[in-house]
A and B are shown apart, each in its own frame.
Chain A
Amino acid sequence: MARHVIDLDESRCIGCRACEVHCQVKNRTPAGVRPGQLVAVGPERSRGEVRLAAAFRPCFHCEKPWCVAVCPVHAMVRRADGWVHVARELCVGCRACIAACPWKVPQWDETIGKVVKCDGCMDRVAAGLVPACVAGCTTHALSFAQANENVRKIRLHYARSLLVQKQRG
């Protein structure tokens, strides 16, 4: 796993898909190819409750990525800092990575006959910026953080709110 993660705060997400489009524009992919995908269910009303569930699926940047293992031409690369990306000039378009990935993260771009996928916007990150999906997210629901940073924040926030409740009796 990469040192950083792209995290979604569901309570802020409005399911607008700006993340997908910011990603497409940055990576100059055709309109039908989405390296980052927002999976949103709802808003749907059932039994009086209205729910909107959302998850953002760019790439998990696995510690042992099957897509890298299966690539016959070493176009799929895992960098030392953890970002898994396609070296586009090497890709021969065999799509073995798509077949291997349990999440079907790599996307087929028929206009260039190659695979494209989330590379964590490593060029932006190297320039001191955050990934395009995070930078443009309509409601700042996406964040870019160290792997355990957000988890720690959420854990603390939850524990504190319990303590406050207990204090108030």
Chain B
Amino acid sequence: MSVKTVYSVCGMCGVRCPIEVAVENGVCRSIQGNRHSPGIRGAICVRGAAGIAALQDDERPQFPMRRLGARGEGRWQRISWEEALAHAAEKLAEAKSRNGGRSILWSDAGGPFSDMRKALVRALGSPNFFGREAFGEVNTHHAALSLFGFGADRLVYDLRHARQVVLQNRNLFESIDVRQANELLDGLADGGRLTVIDIRATVSAAKADRFLLIRPGTDLALNLAVIRTLLAEKLYDAAFAGKWIADLEALERAVAGDSPEFAEAETGIAAGEIVELARALAQAAPRVVWHPGGMTARYRDSFLVSRTAYIINALLGAIGARGGLPLAAGSEDLNQKGLNRFVDLFPAAAEKRADAGGGRPAVYAQGPGLIHQAFQAIESADPYPVKTCVVYENDPLSELPDPGRIKEIFGRLDFLATITSAWTETAWHSDLLLPLSSYLERESIAGELPGLTPSLSLRRRCESPRYDTRADWEIISGLAGRLGVAPLSFGSAEEIWDRQLAGTGVRLRDFEARGIVPLTAEPWYAPLGAEFRFPTASGRIEMQNAEWRDQGLDCLKQVVVRPGLYACTFRLAVGGCSLHVEGHTVNNPILFKQMPENVLWIHPAAAASAGIADGDAVSVSGPGGTGRIRARLTESIHPEAVFMVRGFGRTLPVESRARGQGLADTALMAGGLERTDPLGGGLALQEHVLSVTKA
């Protein structure tokens, strides 16, 4: 019996933690975190541990399939890979010649290993590659762009060295970025202090020194009052502001009326607490992290919530600071040659993206894209017709609001193909299904992970595919070969890695000892030196971005639009938990057993007036429809909202465990595709009102 360790990268959620897999005679036995990876030190979360069960599960697509009958009817014909790839290539070529490359939309999982897929989309002449961040994090990215001129991923959260951390719209201990979670706990053990602002008492709240239960949809008032306090009490870092902040006076004028008392009336948080928080942050400056939010597709003012969070960090001098939000380093910053990129082989499409219709501001083109708007172009043909869609490892029909509406939109497509390792609602609705090997059965291309300790990483094949599935590079190579895109057609993963690594000084064998190749020995903190400039017009952090303002996006304007709530009506709040973060975990045999259904969190006072007891079945209804779910009475939720974990209410007969369990949040979000943040452009999932009655 031989047990060997294979270093790879987890694929159970978007974080992609480095792992090591115990492989016994060619079979994966167990998974833990990579022991050589800083911060991780062998740890892997519950979803990552359950990755083995996803590999062993036969309830996943096992061979290429072509649709028979109507879309979503579930009648499939097994076909060979040769047929499947030829069919997909033919459809893509046909789309390109008939409607132009821009009519092809690629909805992707994103992440560090997506370069080859991006390159194929470019080679087809389409600007329409959208990563997953285009859905949940777009407001945060846009907030960073409007202030700094760069996206959110250019800054790191130095949780290990921060003395004050504020988590707002970031439930770190349940969405679980293993490295960040450990760094924060290490920091707290060293005397760091944690404040959590949420409408729910989460695990993160349980770890906090200060938990502020906030009225849903009022975070902006809180942030504005903190900014005003920092300015009025002269608690901000005047030297930093003088050097790096443009238009401070405009900011001062904008927040002049936002007193802590005003914020108290809005948020339900005592004015004294707000002032106390501002003072505590100032004392710890610049070692402060006020998190601008991970998932910020929440309210109609989430862009401004995220933006004001960044402004607080800037006022405290935390931008660029150790223990604050230092710059992320990549190979370029270290004057090293980075990986050879496949996208560089092809010119970027000259066209604007499909999400640029409806007169939307041109500045959005700098961001990761608005996938919900791109989907609408399928129907409106504005800015141009989109007729072909490929979905790679994500599930618009369970992640985006209003699946009925999305099905209508998909109905206009000439061709919908899905590349997926697990069953998804979208795969079931497709014309062609290309089954991806599980992340434990496939290699990935190499990717660079920027950060304080930037590194190169790649996935290894831990086990041969159990079914007739393929790695993404095999699928892309197969398509590229048939489409005449020779530079993306490879015979082995080693050929790809060699090409990516050529001239970098890193060799493939460097990955063998530890799985990851760090680009620096020590964490790299870049000071904002004399020659540094933010990539904005002024070279500084812009409180009012003129380019954005000229396009109708006044970043200093307060937008307060709140839905009316009546007796027994609530805002719907949604999120993940440690066991289930994306729909594809619900049918995982181990994770399903741990949590087979979602429940509706409701405050006991609100429940009492509706005659609802703990464990009762309740009926929730909104304009879009009605659903049934069990109620969980808890003081852990604000009385104005009800909460449910996302991803449940699956409908597919091929998912025997998950089918029919719990309720899908997205089905209750009628009109949700159009409900967006007017400044940031992101979706506003928590702007839906439901009534709850005893079933």
Interface residues of A (CB under 8 A from B): 11-12, 14-18, 20-22, 24-26, 31-32, 42-46, 50-52, 132, 135-140
Contact = CB atoms under 8 A, between A and B. Distances in A.
Nearest to B41: A140
A115 to B, nearest CB: 19
Interface in B586-620: 589-590, 592-594
Contact of A25 (B31, B33, B173, B205): B31
Among B205, B578, B579, B590, chain A packs the most CB atoms within 10 A around the CB of B590
A4 B29 CA distance: 25
Contacts of A11: 185, 189
A32 B590 CA distance: 8
Interface string B176-210: 10100110010001000000000001110111100
Contacts of A15: 203, 578
Contact-residue bracket for chain B: 35 or more
Given A25-B30, A31-B592, A136-B44, 18 more contacts: A14-B174, A14-B181, A17-B578, A18-B46, A18-B49, A42-B206, A43-B202, A43-B203, A43-B205, A43-B206, A43-B636, A45-B213, A52-B206, A132-B32, A135-B32, A136-B31, A136-B42, A138-B176
B46 A51 contact: no
Given A12-B185, A16-B176, A140-B43, A51 B49 contact: no
A109 to B, nearest CB: 14
Contact of B182 (A31, A44, A139): A139
A136 B42 CA distance: 6
Interface string B37-64: 0000111111011101100000000000
B634 interface: yes
Contacts of B498: none
Contacts of B207: 14, 52
A12 B589 CA distance: 27
B211 interface: yes
A83 to B, nearest CB: 20
B252 interface: no
Nearest to A32: B593
A22 B42 CA distance: 12
A50 B205 contact: yes
A46 B176 CA distance: 25
A103 B289 CA distance: 44
Contacts of A17: 46, 578-579, 594
B590 A21 contact: yes
Find the residue from B31, B49, B206, B578 having the highest chain A CB count within 10 A.
B49
Given A21-B46, A25-B30, A51-B206, A46 B592 contact: no
A14 B578 contact: yes
Contacts of A43: 201-203, 205-206, 636
Interface in B17-42: 29-33, 41-42
B178 to A, nearest CB: 6
A139 B246 CA distance: 40
Given A43-B202, A139-B43, A22 B49 contact: yes
B201 A50 contact: yes
Interface in B633-683: 634-636
Contacts of A135: 32, 42
Contact of B32 (A22, A31, A44, A51): A22
Contacts of B29: 25-26
A132 to B, nearest CB: 7
A16 B171 CA distance: 13
A25 B635 CA distance: 35
Contacts of A51: 206
B333 to A, nearest CB: 30
28 contacts: A11-B185, A14-B173, A17-B578, A17-B594, A18-B43, A18-B46, A21-B594, A22-B32, A25-B31, A25-B50, A25-B53, A25-B590, A31-B53, A31-B589, A31-B593, A44-B634, A45-B213, A50-B211, A51-B206, A52-B203, A135-B32, A135-B42, A138-B43, A138-B176, A138-B181, A139-B43, A140-B43, A140-B182
Interface of B: 29-33, 41-46, 48-50, 52-53, 173-174, 176, 178, 181-182, 185, 189, 201-203, 205-208, 211, 213, 578-579, 589-590, 592-594, 634-636
Q: Which of A32, A46, A52, A138 has the most CB of B within 10 A?
A: A138
Contacts of B182: 139-140
B46 A138 contact: yes
A44 B49 contact: no
A50 B49 contact: no
Contacts of B53: 25, 31
Nearest to B51: A25
B259 to A, nearest CB: 24
Contacts of B46: 16-18, 20-21, 138
Nearest to B33: A136
A139 B33 CA distance: 11
A138 B45 CA distance: 5
Contacts of B578: 14-17
A110 to B, nearest CB: 14
B579 to A, nearest CB: 7
B212 to A, nearest CB: 11
A106 B633 CA distance: 33
A132 B176 contact: no
Contacts of A12: 185, 189
Contacts of B173: 14, 139
Nearest to A31: B593
Nearest to B588: A31
Contacts of B203: 14-16, 43, 52
A52 B207 CA distance: 8
A81 B33 CA distance: 29
Given A15-B203, A50-B206, A137-B43, A31 B181 contact: no
Contacts of A21: 46, 49-50, 590, 594
B26 to A, nearest CB: 16
Which of A32, A46, A135, A136 has the most B CB atoms < 10 Å from its CB?
A136
Contacts of A42: 206
A42 B211 CA distance: 15
Contact of B185 (A22, A46, A139): A139
B636 A136 contact: no
Nearest to B635: A45
Nearest to B595: A17
B655 to A, nearest CB: 15
A31 B206 contact: no
Nearest to A130: B42
Contacts of B202: 43
Contact of A31 (B33, B201, B208, B590): B590
A113 B90 CA distance: 54
